[in-house]
Each structure stands twice: as C-alpha cells, then as structure tokens.
Amino acid sequence: MVDTRSRNKMLKKQIEPHIFIILGATGNLARRKLFPAIYRLSTKGALQGKSVILAVSRSKEYDDNTFRDQIKNILGTTGLSINDKAFSEWCEKCLHYHSIGNGNLEDYRKLSDRILELETQKELPSNRVFYMALPPDAFPPTIKGLGESELNKESGWTRIVIEKPFGRDLESARQLNNLVHRYFQESQIYRIDHFLGKETVQNLLVFRFANAFFEHLWNREHIESIDIVVAENQGIEGRANYYEQSGALRDMVENHLTQLLTLVAMEPPITFESDAIRNEKIKILRQIVPIRSEDVVFGQYAEGMIDGKKVRGYRGESGVYPESKTETFVGLRLEIANWRWAGVPFFLFTGKRMPQRITQIKVRFQCAPVSIFAPFGPACSVQPNVLIITIQPDEGFDLKIQVKSLGQPMNLTTQSLNFKYSDTFGLPPDAYEALLLDVINGDQTLFVHSDEVESAWSLYTPLLKIDKPIRLYPAGSGYPPETDRLYMR
C-alpha cells in the first residue's frame, strides 16, 4: 500500500511562479541544452506561464532585445520550430538579460536589484533558481558572490544547480561542499548529472522494483557479471583546455558511470522519495572494495578511422600537449562487498573515438548448472541469458534467451525479447527538460547528494595518483586490447 507522502509525490505538481537565473548564459551549455529545454517546456505548457528567465553573463554587448535575437538564432539551429509571433510573445513575457560585469560583490548586489525589479514587475514571489552553467573554476567565486550578496536568502524558496564535475578529487570536492554549505542548505543544492534525467535511467528503478521476477534474480546467485558502458564516437570537440585537466576518469567515471552503477546495485528503498533513494545509493558506494591498480586500464586514442574518415589522434588535437598522458579511455573492474553482490564483478568502460556512440548496461546471468543438450553437439551449447538496457541512442530493453531452431537436428539459437521506448511512447523527452522540472518542483530524487560526491571521490582519487601506462588504441577500433585482462581474474 502506498503511503500518503509517496502518493502525493506521484501526483502532478502545480508549478509555483519563480525566476530562473542562468549564470553563464552565453556559454555552450546554456545555448545547446538549457535554453532549448526551457523553450520546449514553455511551448508544451509545462511551466504554465509562471517562469521568468534572467540570463546572466559577463558580456556587456547584450540587452534584453539583442539577447532575445541571439536566442532565437540559437533555437533555430537546434531543430526547434520557431513561430515568430509565439516566440516574440514568449521573449517579451519571459526572457531578460543582465550583465554581471567583473563579478565582484557590487556586481552581485546589482544582480540582486535586477531580480527584485523583475519580481516586482511580474508580481512574483521570491522563488528563485540559480543555475550555474559555468566552468568548474567559476563555481567557488560564483557561490561566494551569491552568498555574500545575500541572494541565498529569500521569503520564498531558493535553489542552486551545480553542473559536473563537482571537484577534481576528494579534497577539492570537500572544499566545494564546505563552501556551498556555508551559504546554502543541502535541501537547496541540486548537483546535476544529465544522465539521470534519461527515461531509461529513471526506469531502472521501475524495472527492478516493479517486476518481481527480475528483482528475485537480481543477486549473486543468478548474475555472473554486469558491464556498464558509455562509449562516444566523437573526440574532444575543441575542448582541450578542459579535457587536458580532466580526462575520462574525472569527466565520465566519477559521475555518469558511477551513478548508473548505484542504481543497478542499490537495495530497494523504503519509499520512492529522494532521501530514501539517495541513502541506498550512498550505501552501495561505501561498500565498493578499494580499487587496485591492476583493476584499471587507461587508454588514449591515436589516429584512426571513424565512419570511413581518417581522424587525428588525441595528441594531434588542437591545444593538446604533444606528449600528453591524459586518458580518453578507462576500463575498471569493481566489486561490492555485500550479501547481494559478493563475488559479482562490475565492469565500467568509457572512451572517446569508439566505433559507435552507445550507453548500455549488460547483465549476464549464470548459465544453467547442467545442460541436458550437450549430447547434441556444439550447436546445442547453452549460452547465458543477457539483459541489455540501452540508455542511448535507442532507449529500451533487450533480453537474450535460448530457443530451439525449427527442424532437425537439435540446434539452439539466441533470440531477443525487446522493448523500445520510441515504438510505444514516441521519442522520449530531453533529459534536461525532466531535470529542470524537478528543480522547479523541489524534487531531489535524480540529483546527487554531498555524501555521494565524496564517497565516489574516495574511490577514484587513489587512481589519479598511480603511475599507470597509457595504452594507445586507434580511433574507431574499440577498447585497448589490454582491457581483456580485466575479465580474466
């Protein structure tokens, strides 16, 4: 029986009037993701006409009108259908611009004045979202500026959204947590990982906990191993300044892959509420056995072929140090020391310039302990059942099962039971749309708690300090060959 709090959470919430402040509004993230997501939500009526957007950046070349023209051009390149009249009405009613100048305390006080002015004009309560669409080195001064100018205080509610990466290691993550907690309570902080907004990721909880036969098999007695793969066919796409300081471990493993791992491995929460779910995720992170150096492989893409075209290697990318040892591939073997998962290896893989862009979770089940079909020969060898959960690009589920082929002699073949979201529901909404609505509604279920961040960095910070060889792999070729040894323990 569903308790009252859980039942209320399932009901559609009414959007409260608010002002949505985007810090870093002229940056790549805001242009590619945030403004398209907000505009789609507005055109769908999801925001119910109650959201005012204040775009903030250091640039002084814009005012309200010139920035609106810029956003229209940007939205036109994202494939959105822009109706001039509807767009103009939306801009006039919702979209505004403010320059933060040099970002000193006086500039933040002027920002506070502008917010109060808009709230008065639009008859808004003091409900505010501050979205930091900024590079990581801008997080600390921005948090401090908001706090010292008392923009963290309000008569309504205030929420702050912080993009990944949250810190570079355990020490820096703790420092950032301490800083943001100086001005904001944990209930106000939304550490965003856009992977968690994807429909298939969210459906992991439904898939596991609403289907009794899967949850019954979801343990060491029936599962042999689990692979979590986030592969990209692109390179660093002109982001050398960021990537040289980050690498694949910081950029992908500490956040995206680790979040998927916790959702796959967690115990059932007592309720479908943010605190209960986050507590179970944190437990899993604390139960992971310390990772040994022999359980990790670092790689870096060299020259190769993608889609029939020759592409340069990582060290040949503009802005990359010619002898760079930054990893563009990471392969990891993890073990979880609890009753459910003892002895079951988890393999995490991520890399750039892979043959295809795909994010999948592969659950390999144990083979039948005895095969009655062995006397029929090699064609009747029993293969393990494999559940494949595809998160992108074609979201859905695929269960590999064994069946008999038609006719004689006896022959076993692998077939699929599959489900695709697009076939049943059409194209799923953009992940940022779901997450932005959650922020506005005050739902932290799909956001990362401070304890999660620090627990994850506790696992991976030691790997940042080891002197591991970087294995080169040709672009488009797949994993470095050395990765195979992770399966051989």
Tokens matching residue 288: 């992971």
Identity of the amino acid at 450: S
18, 98, 256, 449: which is the annotated catalytic residue?
256
DSSP 152: T
Distance CA 253, CA 250 (A): 6
Contacts 24+ apart (CB under 8 A), 212-219: 215/268, 217/365, 218/340, 219/340, 219/341
CB 30 within 8 A of CB 133: yes
Distances (CA, A) of 258 to 283, 307, 334, 396: 13, 30, 11, 20
C-alpha 429/C-alpha 204 separation (Å) is: 17
Contact 188/468 with Cβ under 8 angstroms? no
Note if 216 is an active site residue.
no
Count, in order, helices (H) and strands (E) of the chain. Answer: 16, 17
Give me the DSSP letters along 413-447. EEEEEEEEHHHHH-SPPPHHHHHHHHHHHT--TTS
**How distant, in Å, are the alpha carbons of 15, 210, 294, 451, 483 from that of 486?**
48, 33, 8, 29, 6
Closest CA to 431 of 447, 418, 419: 447
Residue 407: C-alpha distances to residues 102, 103, 378, 400, 412 (Å): 77, 76, 17, 21, 11
> Could you tell me if 147 and 160 are in contact, meaning their C-beta atoms sit under 8 angstroms apart?
no
Give the whole-angstrom CA distance, residue 382 versus residue 365: 12
DSSP annotation of 326 reads -
d(CA 324, CA 488): 29
| CB contact set of 121 (below 8 Å; sequence gap of 6+) | none
> Between β-strands 51-57 and 18-23, what pairing exists: parallel, antiparallel or unpaired?
parallel
Tokens of 273: 């509420």
DSSP-derived secondary structure letter, 482:
G
Active site residues: 256
